[in-house]
Structure 1
Amino acid sequence: MPRAPLSITGRMPSFRIICTVLAGVFLFSFGALLLKPMNYGLDLQDQPAYSAIINLQSPYVQGPPTQRFRDNLRNDTKYITSWASAGWTNDVITYGNLIYLALITERIPILPKFLSSHIDKSAPPFTFGDVIDIPRLSQAIGIPLLQWHEVKDSESQVLDDLGCWSIWETVQQHIQNPQPRGSPSLNRLKLDISWTKAPDWVKLTAPNKVDNHASFWSLAALGFPEARSNSLGSKNYPSPQHQVSLPPDDHVLCFDFLYYISAHHTWEWELDYSPAWRFVGQHMRWNATIERIADEHARRAMNVPKDKPTPPYISIHIRHGDFSQECIDIPLDQCFASLPVIARRVSEVQEELRTQKGIEVTHIIMTSDESDPEWWSEVRALGWTWVDYVAERTEEIYGKWHPVFIDAIIQSNGAGFVGTRGSTMSTLAIRRVQAWHDGPSRIVKWGWLGADNH
């Protein structure tokens, strides 16, 4: 493990210094108390005060961000990084996998910003720590975390060379001539990557089985001397701009894409034993500021008076949008579950809350990418509500990212949850509701007429 920063030793502090420090601690503690969100009934915002800690410079870099990333790294510390661009929820999973790999390789993760690949490409990248409470996550998992903008100046025009492993080329065996998987983050960070194909043994399942997952511990092995040195003869690609061929870096272990990674079974975040979820994902709690914004939106959607606490509610996520492409030769009204079918699942969650927790939940909040006004009218007829982002002027006030963030936070803070089979957004909402609120959940099946009959 990286060693802790050196302690300051020397002369005994003067009385004036002691008073100054105590005054600073008092003012900081008072400020943290003011910044801590109010607690509305559920424990959705019961966060420790350290979530408001000022982000001081990390001792695991040399200083402020530099023009070249290597100039800011410590020689006595090893790091790990990767990049993504697969939709925000999938990128959350990817970064969760990256952090879990950091744990088992005893390295410090360097996290990129989120890219708006599934929102609006004109939206600027969004910093990981502005969505996820990094101090809380770091304390929970016991290792520090860095963000790329803390390491390298975001405005730097210096092109850095780096050698990395390509997992994508290895696991995509059903694709003809697979290539390393790039990311727009590489251009933004001015990184010129020389890729080396990861060895075939990193694949999670047998070589003749068609899936695209790699194994956590196989990838971890590449972060240690023996497996690394034995794999350096793999296919290598010169970097696209400088045309240099580099072996995978040992100081900064890096991989092209860490979404399809599991310990035992494919799509493991859907399973309750998932180590990446248990040891990392469940501790990726929301940044207090953005959670408060989401709670304000939810309260207005439920018409909660300002002097009343946020009531318990059941959150729903129904994904249609791009899922319609899966409804081949099936009319959409038969392919997707109807609202009465969804309502039956909601009633099951209500009954479980009633019998197991003694909670009578009447507020239901729908989140969905459905655009049909008639469908939304039927939602209203059921007595359910939703956040009207146009009326709220959410994008205008906060930016294009916030409707997606607010939906995810509202989903996660339900007393219970109903989601859509096959959607990673629903998968994470289920995991969060179960882990954070001990809440019941249901998944609505779809794809053919009567798919969710039970």
Structure 2
Amino acid sequence: MALTSDDALPSRLYQYHDLSRPGRPSTRSGISHYIFRRQFIASCAALAIVSVAALALLTLVTTPTQLQSFLTAAPVTEVEDAQSYLLGPPTQSLRDNLRNDTKYITSWLNAGWTNDVMTIGNLLYLALITERVPIVPSFIPSHIGPEAPTLPFGHVFDVPRLSKALRIPVLEWDQVKDVNSSSLDELGCWAVWPIVEQGAPPRDSSLIPKLNLDLSYTRAPDWVKLTAPDINDKHVSLWSLARLAYPEARETAISQPPDPSPQHQVSLPPDDHLLCYDYLYYTAVTSAWEWNWDYSPVWRFVGKHMHWNATLEKLADEHARRAMNISDGEPTPPFISIHMRHGDFRIYCNEFSDDQCFVPLPAVARRVAEVQQELFDKKGINVSHVIMTSDERDPNWWAEVRKYGWTWVDYAAERTVEKYGRWYPVLLDAILQSRGAGFVGTEYSTMSLLALRRVQDWDDGAVRMAKWGRPGADDH
């Protein structure tokens, strides 16, 4: 069973406050010029070494599996300040800010916040393998409430650190086009969603009218689908999508005329300067639901480098310390984080009641004990603090949580929404989950999945996923 929605924490709308944003440098050198002048001398000097390495590679890469593994490696380049890949500050029309010597790539969001984070990871991976500059969309409040504002990617994640790790510039839409622009930009894009969801139109997103875009879609070729046509799966191949970034595949892929745009009724082929796709959540390199596995290329080369904005992380630490009653001056102790998702998962419980369907707290406690033991065996630390995160609203359930000696962040008592905005309980929960020395999550939840990956790779933590859906599902 594969589930794709996120936890929702409904609360009152307030505008987000002053999280740090990356600065806007003044240099303007293009990516192609930059790479040329830094690589020309080095490539000449290394010619003999490259020849030997190529011979060794041909010897080592002897099977399709090995070749595929080699091809998933992210390209290595150096990076200048991201703003230098635009002509200047945000403009009324996006075309007025794109450099002629640089090619770009973008997509839209419409999958719930955690899944949108994964979608951006897929977009960045696609940017790596197509050697294009990504323009990252803002997060939309699809699981928080339509009246909440969109949230720029850089308000949540450390973009300069990410750019440095990926060795490519990472741009955001609010750097490219004025958020208050009245200029309607026409743009041709590839429609991926109709390939895997028969009869569906291109995937819509509330970002498109906010960016004041008039999109004309061309149906992507059937060969972008990851699996055979007779297999009922929604995933498309990232490497097949990458083929559409290059002239030869692009020319043969356009088999039918573009659909007219909704406003100006213009029919435009997919843009080559700003390559765009309607939807990138259901994408993978080798197999469906690839993020579930530790070999996931997108996680390994992109996702693990998506660290939190430092200001937001500091705010999460302050909330955690108050929840654990840590005195000023004392260090924040290690803790085990839990994510028990209930909420919309109830639709999958079928004939079972909540207490039969969801992971019972004694089973959660057993998983916590396993994590505590592993942390002691592996690192020699005794972790007694436990922080629960959940979308459960039943006060009796929370009273039972308290009986185990566990704690949680009381966002109502903290007045977090009133102080910072409606996004913040979800964001702070995600950060707290990732900061645990150990983690216990809910199987099939993508929010739990990303927390598990972060705890494993960022802190070499101990992790468990608790099973649910029927009585005794997590018995072991």
Which band: TM-score by shorter chain?
0.7 to 0.9
Cross-structure match for 1:336 = 358
In structure 2, the residue matched to 1:127 is: 152
Amino acid at match of 1:142: R
* 1:204 partnered with 2:226: yes
Q: 2:345 aligns with which of 294, 317, 323?
A: 323
CA 215–70 in structure 1, closer or farther in 2 if over 3 Å, else same: same
Matched, 1:114 2:136: no
Matched, 1:73 2:85: no
Cα displacement string for residues 192-235 of structure 1 (whole angstroms, at most 9, x for unaligned residues): 00001110000000110001000010000000111101112235
Distance 2:32 2:196 in 1: 32
Query: How far apart in 2 are the matches of 1:355 and 1:56?
Result: 44
**SS at 2:465's partner residue?**
strand
Contact 1:163 1:194 in 2 (8 A): yes
Aligned ranges for residues 150-161 of structure 1 at < 5 Å? 150-161=175-186
Q: Within 5 A, what are the aligned runs for 1:13-412?
A: 58-173=83-198, 177-234=199-256, 236-412=258-434
CA gap of 1:313–1:179, structure 2 versus 1, over 3 A, is: same
Partner Cα separation in structure 2 for residue 152 and residue 436 of structure 1 = 34
2:221 and 2:255 in contact (8 A); partners too: no
Counterparts of 1:426 and 1:253, CA distance in 2: 32
Preserved CA contact (<8 Å) 1:408 1:425: yes
Q: Normalising by structure 2, what TM-score? A: 0.83
1:446 and 2:476 aligned: no
State the alpha-carbon separation in 2 of the partners of residues 2 and 150 from structure 1.
20
Deviation at 1:5? Answer: 9.4
Which one of the candidate residues 429, 435, 440 is aligned to 2:451? 429
1:48 counterpart residue number: none
Q: Is residue 199–residue 234 contact of structure 1 (8 Å, CA) maintained in 2?
A: no
Deviation, structure 1 residue 6 = 11
Post-superposition shift, 1:85? 1.9
Cα deviation, 1:57-111, whole Å, max 9, x if unaligned, reads: 7000001111110110000000000010211101000001000000000000001
User: CA contact under 8 A between 2:82 and 2:171: conserved in structure 1?
Assistant: no
- Do 1:195 and 1:237's aligned partners in 2 also have CA atoms closer than 8 Å? yes
Q: CA deviation at 1:254?
A: 0.3
Structure 1 counterpart SS, 2:240: helix
Alpha-carbon distance between aligned partners in 1 of 2:204 and 2:248, rounded to the nearest angstrom: 27
Specify every segment of 5 or more residues in structure 1 that has no aligned partner in the other structure, as ranges: 8-54
Distance in 1 of aligned mates of 2:184 and 2:470:
51
- Contact kept, 8 Å, 2:337 with 2:386, in 1: the verdict is yes
Aligned to 1:2: 32
Greater length-normalized contact order (CA 8 Å, ≥ 6 residues apart): 2
CA distance in 2, matches of 1:6, 1:256: 32
**Kindly tell me: are residues 5 and 264 of structure 1, through their superposed partners in 2, closer, same or farther at Cα, counting changes over 3 Å?**
closer
The one-letter amino acid of 2:394's match is D
Q: 1:2, 1:107 within 8 Å by CA — same for their partners in 2?
A: no
| Superposed displacement of residue 236, structure 1 | 2.3
SS of the equivalent of 1:361 reads: coil
Between the aligned partners of 2:228 and 2:81, the Cα distance in structure 1 is 46
Q: Shift of residue 56 of structure 1?
A: 7.5
Deviation of the 1:264 alpha carbon: 0.9
Partner of 1:37: none
What percentage of aligned pairs have identical amino acids? 62
| Alpha-carbon distance between aligned partners in 1 of 2:470 and 2:167, rounded to the nearest angstrom | 46
Q: Secondary structure at the match of 1:367?
A: strand
Cα 1:235–1:212 shift into 2, 3 Å: farther
Cα distance between partner residues in 1 of 2:36 and 2:275: 25
* Cα 1:57–1:90 shift into 2, 3 Å: closer
> SS of the counterpart of 1:3?
helix
* Deviation by residue 1:140-189 (Cα, 9 ceiling, x = unmatched): 0100011001101110011100000011001113xxx2111110100000
2:177 counterpart letter in structure 1:
K
* Shift in alpha-carbon separation, 1:217–1:56, aligned structure 2, 3 A: closer
Structure 2: stretches of 5+ with no match in the other structure: 1-30, 38-79
1:337 shift after superposition = 1.2
